[in-house]
Amino acid sequence: MSIEPAKMEGRGAKAEVYAGLLSQLGAVFEGEKELISNMANCAALLYHTLEDLNWAGFYLSRGEDLVLGPFQGQPACVRIPRGKGVCGAAAFKRQTIVVADVREFPGHIACDAASRSEIVVPLIAGSRLVGVLDLDSPIVNRFDAADQAGLEPIARRLLDGSELGM
């Protein structure tokens, strides 16, 4: 499968790109329930489809920490305490966080100095925090409400199509 970065100019274009991603993920997840494998394919599809990303991946909930899971991009921080940085804050609050400029986010953890904006979507199954989906960009203000509206259904589709017996 060859993947070309999608042009995402304007809110309508973003909605179309995310709808296409959701459809593609449905096909990729078809018949596969392994969470880690589905996360790996999801990270790859997001990284290679969405423009202006320098990291796309997952952190998994392990006790009071988030531990690095499948990703695409530069090597990353392995362990993040819940409540620390953007990923830890999203996990603690159990809500999506969009950061226009990470340099202005109190307590930001700089795994890659090139990252300038970030969006983190918590992965919640029932009452259980499974982890977070994290996307970084070297562009300030890369993410917005349209990205949140597109990524939250992708996170739900990932959880709905995977076995969570971890």
Residue pLDDT, tens place only, 5-47: 445 555 569 999 999 999 999 999 999 999 999 999 999 999 9
- CATH architecture observed for domain 11-160: 2-Layer Sandwich (3.30)
Residue 76, Cβ neighbours under 10 Å: how many? 18
What pLDDT does residue 84 have?
A: 92
Cα 44 to Cα 18, 20, 70, 86: the distances in Å are 14, 15, 9, 21
Split at pLDDT 50, 70, 90, the class of 4 is very low
Q: Which helix (H) or strand (E) holds 153?
A: helix 145-160
Residue pLDDT, tens place only, 61-94: 999 999 999 999 999 999 999 889 999 999 999 9
Percent of the chain with pLDDT over 90: 81
Entry field: residues in the chain: 166
Residue 5 sits at φ, ψ, to 5 deg, of -55, 140
Q: Residue 114 and residue 132: Cα distance in Å, rounded?
A: 21
What pLDDT does residue 110 have?
A: 77
Q: Where are the domains of the chain?
A: 11-160
Q: Is residue 136 over pLDDT 60?
A: yes
Please tell me which residue, 103 or 121, carries the higher pLDDT value.
Answer: 121
